[in-house]
Structure 1
Amino acid sequence: MNFKSIPSEFEYLSWPEVKNISKDIRSTIIWPFGAVEQHGPHLPLGTDSIFVDEIICEVFKLIPSDTPIKKLPTQYIGFSPEHKGFDGTISLSSNLITLLIKEVGIQLADMGFKRLILINAHGGQISLLNTAARELRSVAPKLSIFPCFLWKGVDGLSELLTKDEIENGLHASLAETSLMMALKSKLVGDERPCEGIKMQIPKGWSLEGNAPTAWFTEDLSKSGVIGNSKGSNKELGNSLKSLLVNHWFKLIMNLMKSDWPNQYK
């Protein structure tokens, strides 16, 4: 079968096409994860989901069509208890998210797929997806699982963003607002809050760092923003988009060109 004739979206394939692709020793599925949660008064609830979906779709435009890799529908609703104090936030339990990943992952493994990339854009569920990946591997040992965070390990971010933004822009701040302006500007409101970055944290402790605390957004902010969204602009957003797309394209192609794990040689 000619892979060039079939789409990148898993749900658009026929079952014989899935069967043919899954036989490849490098067959891979990407499953994007986001969230439906408050992102301040100026960004949509689905910000994280929109980001990961848009970036991965752009990545697939660069991937050669005969590459045995497909994309599952983006999981929009995630684990967001830290934002429950704000209307619009919908959060699934950690147990349900873990069960979802395990059930889908087991079925993909049974089909014959060799690798599953969980590409997540919501910072509040990084640890959860890492744990779920381990649990899935324990029941589907022949499936390699890669729990990844969209913003992690991306070279060049420090050249586009200030140190303050990188350290304190935790939610709906400069980077996220700018990226949404580049991707879907009509969804961005006019307000530009700056909040939640002057907390007196005990020395040596942090919100997200070496010694973090399990914070809730309402502990830090009335607007839902943690950081400074002032100065957000479409030009920065386009630069962030290019950086993210190029990073994940290179990373995914490095994997697709490899025989990892060696047991599948």
Structure 2
Amino acid sequence: MAINPSAVGSTSAPTESSWTTKDSLLYAVGIGGGTNDLAFTTENSMNVDQRAYPTQAVVLGDASGAFANIGSFNPAMLVHGEQAIVLHRELPVEGTVFTVGEVTAVWDKGSGAVVEVTSRSSTADGEALFDKVMSVFIRGEGGFGGERGPSGPRNAAPEGVAPDEEVTLATREDQALIYRLSGDRNPLHSDPGFAQLAGFDRPILHGLCTYGFTGRALLDRLCDGDPSRFRSMEGRFTSPVFPGEPLTIRMWRSGADAALFTTHGGDDRVVLDAGRVSFDPA
């Protein structure tokens, strides 16, 4: 097995994908939306128009074809490293997009390889709707002599400075069973036996579910709950989360249109860091 560093710059064929209002409702409850979030969790409440959470972009637009170009590896050795989204306008509650994925980096970290894939999703008339950048770390695939890539802190939260905003959200014991219905059926998040084989005593929560919970908090505290103001979000996964564990999101404003953030598990360990969000000022 070997990673192919020359894959950088290669692209996938355009992929068409669609979602419905029901998909948007399911995603909303999958990231903890409830009776206080009827604009996102219902489609027929009186005087309330349905809207989509900005982070729903992570489950829309198929760019998996880009990974066909990076060489062969054991998928069990792959972990999600970082995730970023950019919204060019408010995400509709239903729609169709055409997505092209591009391998934008392959880095040699010695103990493993980091592969970055950037995808761009547009409507049928060519209007850009959202972009995503994801990186994965593939254990055991480093040492091929490539560039190491960037290192060191990025979007580091201020040390010793109290956050401007802090919110704690509860996750359910069955949170992963709800979230998996938005597309990621990996048994690591549902099958206790499979989770034990992977070294966990029980199934863990999807990293992108933690990302969605974090996005809910950012939307509420920084955008007054208005998804049309939400522009971008990025962060790095640092520790697994177990369903039922509370998540605390801390935010430090950096000007009128951006903030840094971290997300912490129930024991206050950092589970998502290097966080930055941008938004339109009120």
Q: Normalized against structure 1, the TM-score is what?
A: 0.26
Q: Which has the higher contact order (CA 8 A, sep 6+)?
A: 1
Q: Normalized against structure 2, the TM-score is what?
A: 0.25
Specify which structure has the higher proportion of strand. Answer: 2
Specify which structure has the higher proportion of helix. Answer: 1
